[in-house]
Each structure stands twice: as C-alpha cells, then as structure tokens.
C-alpha cells in the first residue's frame, strides 16, 4: 500500500453514496461508471495454476510442490501463474468478460497446517510444518504479486485464517479450540510470515470458529492479531457464504443483518457470498457505521488501483498477451516441477531404474493408472494435454515392450461394473501380473 494509491482510493470512495460503497463490498462488484470504476468479480483461484477459466499451465498440486522443498522453484511457478493470469485477464477484459474466475485477485495460497489426515483439503496445503509452509507460501506470493508493490502483477490471498484444518464435514459449525501456544507456534506462524515477509495483499477468513469466535468476524483474529500485531494493511475476504454461518450454524448472532455487521465491525472487508446484500439494512438499523464501511471500501479500491483497473493509473502488465498461456517454457517448468515433486521412499537392491533390455512385458495395474481425475487435483485449470501413467509408459516404451493394463478395482466402490459381483476386476489384475516381467501398481 502506497501513500499515492491510498489517497486516490480515499478520493474515489469519498464520492460514493452508501449504497455504492456497499455494492463494492460484494465479490460481484458492479461498475460505477460516473467514477470510472469498471465492474469486477473478485473470485479467482490459482492454487497450482490459473484455475476454472479454461486452458492454463497446470502445475503439481500444492502438497506435491511442497515436496520439492524449493522456494526458488515455487516463486518461479507463482510468476508463471501471474503471467498467465494477466494474459487471460487482459484478453477477457477486451472482450467485455468480467465474470467469475477472470480476475486478478487469486485466492491462493492455502497455508493451513495439515496435521489431521481426515481433513479433506490437506492436499491444497504445503503440509504439516509451519516453517516450510511459511517459506513456500511467501515464495508463491512473491511470484504472484511481482516485485513492484505500487503495481501488483496479481494479488495473492493467504487462506484460511485460521485453524481451518479440522473435520471437513462440520466446518460450518466447528469450534477449533487451541491454546495460545499452539495458535502462535502452529496455526498463525505461516500467516505472520506471509504478511510480514511477502506483504500478501489479502487474507481470507475460515468457516469455523476459533476459541468461540467465528473466524470471519473475529476481533481477536482480524483486528488484534492480523492488523495490530502483524501489521497487515491489505483487505480481508470472507470464505464463501461463511458469514451466513454466524447465525445459521454458529448461533453467535440471530439475524443476517447482525452477522453482516459483526463481520464488517471486526475487520472483514469483502464478502464472498450473500450476507452483505443485507448490509444496508444493518446500516439503517445502526448496527454498522459509515466509517467502518468506508474504511473497508478504501482498502478494496486501493488494491484495484494497484492492479491497474483505473484508466489514470495504468498497469505495466497490461500488454501481456494470451500467447503466454500454456506456452512451451511454462509447460517445461510444470514437467520440471513434477519431476522435483517425486519422492522415492524405498529402492531395495537398486531395483529402479528398470533396464528396458530385460523387460519384455509390463503390467500397469490400479484405478489411478489411466485416470485423468487423478492428475488434476482441485482448483485446477484445463490442460490441453493429459498423460496418465499408463499412457506415459506406452509412449516411452514403444513397440519393443508390451504394456498390459488392468483397473484391478474401483477407486472407492467394491466393483467397477454396476451389475457385477464384488471385486469384478481383481482376477484380471492377477492374470496380467502373471503374464508380466514387472508390475507397476
């Protein structure tokens, strides 16, 4: 945040009505044409490549990238992702497409700590270690945001603040109880590094409560710790529809107006969801002040200015073209990242690498052996080419080696075909194994 851009933001916001201000606090922000403010959708994803908006270079899932232990590589990947994000944004904007997943505010990285294997989103993170998570999160943020703080290449978002790593099924009503020591030693450390070392532009709150307070409306988390202790200057966004949980599941408020006011009063600036549609009613009832709303909108306008969305504050990145999307160099970096993410746990008697001359038949067995779904992770873009393990071996070995394939079993059901008996692909896998010199399973 610079003095120049903040003054510009204050000037813009000072000309808005209360209804116009509130409209800019929703993730689908309409244009205010008289002030030269274009419409903007804040929701975009870039966990391991630009996601959900068509073709992009897809990198290994975050937990795989963490296995590289390489901050320079992670920063390069972040730089590629922001380059492609810019190329897509620039071209979409020329076509008048300002829809969801087309913007420059990327809700990544996920720096939650993965210590419970029952948590369904651990693969989005950099693992169980706060120090490594902080290092890699900062590297990715630097790659996404670039090295000019006055002109952001894109805006990163550290999420989900905080302790969003418990039982996924009850995340909307769960109260994460953590000691002060565990909070600072485990769950807050990576966020602190992202704020202080990488100057992350945004922080997203979590669905759950933390020691009794809903994270997206927690004075302790958002004001006392994030802003006062960590010195955070950017904007806070709610997780999607999390503010409705205040009254629907956490029962800390009674109405949606009270929930919206609680979020804003405690430092949440932007609503992914619908609760802030009721913010005007909360304002009319005296539940939230014009000052609190104004402060939030000033922060939101300030980052949009630095991203180059106002005509009189242009971006040095506005000439990046669509040609960069999934270009040869970016795909090569993705392949390198995939190689670096692999971890060989055991190689008894130097069994690997295989000697092609001694292998005439290979059986490739398993429900993920020829599955595209196993390649893509979540929050993913569309690759123009997918190579499964089976296809990769077939291409590499050519006609000299016969490659057999058996699914073996369904990934999670007891049979592959609906009318078949249990384990309907099991015997086929045994037959393939018996026919082969080597099994890759």
Q: Please give the positions annotated as active site.
A: 239
Print burial letters for 266-301: b (CB count within 10 Å at least 16), e (below 16). Answer: bbbbbbbbbbbebbbebbeeebbeeebbbebbbbbb
Give the integer Cα–Cα distance in Å for 331 and 329: 6
Residue 383's alpha-carbon distances to 14, 176, 375, 376, in angstroms, are 44, 37, 10, 9
> Which residues contact residue 144 at a Cβ distance below 8 angstroms, ignoring those fewer than 6 apart?
46, 78, 79, 81, 82, 106, 108, 153, 154, 155, 156
Number of helical H runs and strand E runs in the chain: 15, 11
Cβ–Cβ < 8 Å for 48, 54: no
Cβ–Cβ < 8 Å for 25, 293: yes
Tokens of 186: 């485990």
Burial of residue 38, with CB atoms counted within 10 A of its CB: 0-12 exposed, 13-18 middle, 19 or more buried: middle
With DSSP H G I counted as helix, E B as strand and the rest as coil, what are the percentages for the chain, rounded to 5? 45, 10, 45
Tokens of 279: 């913010």
Residue with tokens 């307070």: 213
Burial of residue 343, with CB atoms counted within 10 A of its CB: 0-12 exposed, 13-18 middle, 19 or more buried: exposed
Give the integer Cα–Cα distance in Å for 91 and 95: 7
Give the integer Cα–Cα distance in Å for 78 and 276: 31
Element (H, E) at 239: none
DSSP 220: I
């Amino acid at each position: 945040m610079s003095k120049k851009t903040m003054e510009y933001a204050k000037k813009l916001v000072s000309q808005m009505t209360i209804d116009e201000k509130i409209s800019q606090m929703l993730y689908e922000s309409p244009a205010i044409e008289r002030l030269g403010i274009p419409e903007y959708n804040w929701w975009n994803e870039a966990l391991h490549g630009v996601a959900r908006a068509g073709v992009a270079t897809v990198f290994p899932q975050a937990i795989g990238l963490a296995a590289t232990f390489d901050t320079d590589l992670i920063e390069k990947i972040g730089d590629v992702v922001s380059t492609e994000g810019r190329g897509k944004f620039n071209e979409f904007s020329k076509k008048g497409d300002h829809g969801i997943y087309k913007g420059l505010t990327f809700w990544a990285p996920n720096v939650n700590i993965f210590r419970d294997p029952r948590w369904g989103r651990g693969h989005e993170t950099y693992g169980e270690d706060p120090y490594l998570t902080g290092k890699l999160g900062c590297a990715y943020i630097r790659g996404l945001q670039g090295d000019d703080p006055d002109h952001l290449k894109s805006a990163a978002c550290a999420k989900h603040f905080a302790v969003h790593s418990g039982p996924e099924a009850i995340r909307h009503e769960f109260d994460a109880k953590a000691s002060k020591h565990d909070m600072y030693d485990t769950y807050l450390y990576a966020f602190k590094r992202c704020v202080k070392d990488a100057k992350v532009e945004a922080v997203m709150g979590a669905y759950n409560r933390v020691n009794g307070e809903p994270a997206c409306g927690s004075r302790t988390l958002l004001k006392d710790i994030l802003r006062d202790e960590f010195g955070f200057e950017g904007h806070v966004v709610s997780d999607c529809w999390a503010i409705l949980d205040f009254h629907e599941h956490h029962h800390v408020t009674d109405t949606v107006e009270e929930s919206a006011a609680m979020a804003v009063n405690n430092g949440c600036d932007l609503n992914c969801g619908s609760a802030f549609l009721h913010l005007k009613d909360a304002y009319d009832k005296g539940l939230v002040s014009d000052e609190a709303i104004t402060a939030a909108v000033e922060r939101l306008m300030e980052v949009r200015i630095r991203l180059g969305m106002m005509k009189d504050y242009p971006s040095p990145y506005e000439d990046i073209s669509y040609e960069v999307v999934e270009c040869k160099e970016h795909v090569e970096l993705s392949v390198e990242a995939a190689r670096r993410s692999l971890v060989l746990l055991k190689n008894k008697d130097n069994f690997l690498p295989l000697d092609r001359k001694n292998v005439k038949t290979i059986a490739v067995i398993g429900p993920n052996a020829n599955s595209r779904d196993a390649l893509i992770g979540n929050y993913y873009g569309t690759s123009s080419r997918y190579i499964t393990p089976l296809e990769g071996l077939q291409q590499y070995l050519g006609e000299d080696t016969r490659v057999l394939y058996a699914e073996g079993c369904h990934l999670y059901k007891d049979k592959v075909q609906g009318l078949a008996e249990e384990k309907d692909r099991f015997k086929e896998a045994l037959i393939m194994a018996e026919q082969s010199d080597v099994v890759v399973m």
